[in-house]
Every structure is written in structure tokens, then in C-alpha cells.
Chain A
Amino acid sequence: MQTAIQVLTAFLGSLGFGLIFHLRNRHLVAAALGGMFIWIIYLIAVSAIDGIFFPTLIASAFSALYAEIMARVQKAPATLYLITAVVPLIPGGSLYHTMSCAVRGEWEQFSTYGMDTIQYALGIAIGMSLVWAVYDMADRILHRNHSEQK
């Protein structure tokens, strides 16, 4: 039940951010579905792998992949889809707990939550960068082959 609620709210939350970023209607639902899809991947990854960093990395890599595919299909910049889909991964909860521990002076808890927040942030950034690095290399290799054929 909790899972179903999370998946639904991930969709609605991404939809909300799509609206805030003035996404055009024809991209809105597909981008929000991306958010939902990425959260499902995160949940699957988290049940298979311990920790926060690697599941976040995997989910983030999928969001970059999804964004690149949708950008080709819809002929729009990939950022539109990427930013909207990645929103559920943003560690709002652990950031809040980090600072509330700081205010209460619970420094052990503070460092635990702080590390979580950093792992989320790094996981998101590294996941998508990996996809781009591979994508960029593949593009160059394909492009070179293409120009050699000429």
C-alpha cells in the first residue's frame, strides 16, 4: 500500500514540477510518467542492492536514458524530460532530517543523515553523467564510421 502511494505521488509530484517549469502540454504527461518510472526502478534497485548510492545511481542513469530517448521521439531538448523525471530522487526528506538534527545538536544522527544526503546527490549526478559519457563516445564512434563511409 505504501509503495502504491509512493509511486502515485511520485507521478503527481513530477507532474507538479512539470507545471512549475512551464512544460508544454504535449510533454507533460510523458515527463511525469518518467518520474514515476524512475521511482519504480529505484524501489526495485533498493530491494536488490544495499545502501543508497548505487540504487540512486541506477535510477538516475535510467532517467538520463529515458530523457535521451524521449528527446529523440518528441524532438525536444533532453533537459525537459530529465529534470522533471529526476525530481522524486531529490533528497528533500534526508536534507530536512539533517538540518533538524543540527538544530537539536544530535551530531551523530546529523552525520548519518548528512552522509545519506550526499550519497543521493552524488548518485544522481554520477548516474546521469555515466550515461552521457557512454552516449557521447557511441555518438563519436558512429559518426566517425559514418564519415569514413563517405
Chain B
Amino acid sequence: MDTQNKILHELLDLGEAMLINGAEVKRVEDTLNRMGVAYGASRMNVFVITSSVVVTMTLADGRELTQTRRIAKPGGTDFRKLEELNALSRRCCMLPLPPEELQREIHRLTGARTSRVKFYGGSILAAGSFSVFFGGGLTDGIAAALFAVLVCVLQEHMSPYCTNTVIFNFLCALLTGLAICTAANLLGMVQIVVHIDKVIIGDIMLLIPGIAMTNAVRDVLLGDTISGVMRLTETLLWAVSLACGFMSAIWLIGG
């Protein structure tokens, strides 16, 4: 691979890493445009959707290079990595790093281990808070917080084996729903009242693709129609599968 191709390859690595960690389509397009110009392109043609990146780079001597990248799956949103990747791109636009060094930097930033404590703690806090936020009592909040641990365990250990998000959301909702209904019925026997609906609402907030959905509508309104419509279709399917999962659980055990 000659140097120019290597540079383009690294630009795609950067774009891919940003997309996976939760960057908007527009940001990735802007970043790749600016980076390309910083590395000496006379013209950049960048096309990004949530599942693919296509870049054609016109060099100063008139040669044109094209590379494409398929983005397999949006990973978990990681704003720490996104912020660092964004800072790296800014630094590079001011003073372009040699491609080998850029590659090392991208690997270092994306390879950093993320804190599980934060993920679990955040989920527990968010589920408990939103259960109370949507009108639950203190017991509902505590129950939602406890079942948030189950949701986290499923997200961590089941999602690697279940790459289809529709199926994953259904199973995750079904299992969590079954656990919540069972626990509520058992607690009901000892006169502790837990409102199943409030507990489920708290835990739904962790799984609901609300942010992806908001991003999708936003993309459509701002002119990135293809990625917006694509993501909107996905998120609607996810929301329906989530709903089916919880409702099957309630239907099986009785709320």
C-alpha cells in the first residue's frame, strides 16, 4: 500500500471508530472532509450512513483514490472515546500525523478498556430514578434498580451471542419482564406492593432506542435522509420487539 492509500485507510478507521462510539453522521462527514484536506487532498467526496462509509479522495496531482468501509454494528455509545477521537482529529487537522502514528493513536484510544462499574452504576441509578420519575413509589424505584442489574448482565453476556438486535431486545425484555412479574407476585404474598408497570417503565428506559430514534428523525430533518430513514426503521422494529417481550412476560405470568 502506498502512503496515500494508507492515509485514506486510517481516515476510514477514524470515521468508523467515531460512528461506532456514537457520533452523528454529519460530524463524521465533516471530520473526514477536513482531515482529507489537511492531508493534502484537493477535493474530498465523503458519503456516510450509519452502516457504511465511502470516501473518494482527489489528490493534488489529480489521482483519485476510493475506499469504502462497511460498519458492522453500532456499538455502545462511548462519549469518552468520541471526545478523544474528536480531539485527535482536530489535532491532526492542525498538524497532520504520519499515518503509522495516526493508526497507533486510533488503536490506543479505541482499545482503552471501559469501566464496568460506571456502566452498572449508571444503569442502576437511571432505572431507579426513571421509575420514580414516571410516578412510581420508593419500593418501585428500588425494584427497578435491582432489575437494572439483570438488564446489564444480559447486555454484557447475551449480546455477543445474539447479534440480531430485534431478537436480543425481545429476549432481554421477555426475561426481565418474567423476573419482574415473578418477583412482584412473590412480594405481593408478603404484603409488599410493587407496581409492575412502574418497575418495567424504569427498566424500559435502559433499553428503549429513544436516542437513536431522536437522531434518526433529526437526520431526516437535516437532510441526511437515507441514514435517517434507515435508522428510524431499525429503531421502530427494536421498540416493537421490546414491547412484545415485556407484554409476553405480563401475558404469561399475569400482572
Contacts and interface: CB of A to CB of B under 8 A. Distances in A.
Nearest to A23: B79
A87 B211 CA distance: 8
Instruction: Give chain B's interface secondary structure class.
Output: helix
B241 to A, nearest CB: 11
B205 A19 contact: no
B217 A13 contact: no
Contact of A16 (B114, B127, B211): B127
Interface in A28-83: 76-77, 79-80, 83
A9 B251 contact: no
Instruction: Give chain A's interface secondary structure class.
Output: helix
- How many residues of B sit at the interface, in one of the four size bands? 35 or more
Interface in A10-35: 10, 12-13, 15-24, 27
B250 A100 contact: yes
Contact of B132 (A5, A18, A102, A103): A5
Contacts of A86: 211, 214
Interface string B169-192: 000000000000000000000000
Contacts, number: 152
Centre residue among A79, A98, A122, A126 by max chain B CB count within 10 A: A79
B122 interface: yes
Given A16-B123, A121-B213, A126-B221, A96 B77 contact: no
B124 interface: yes
A103 B210 contact: no
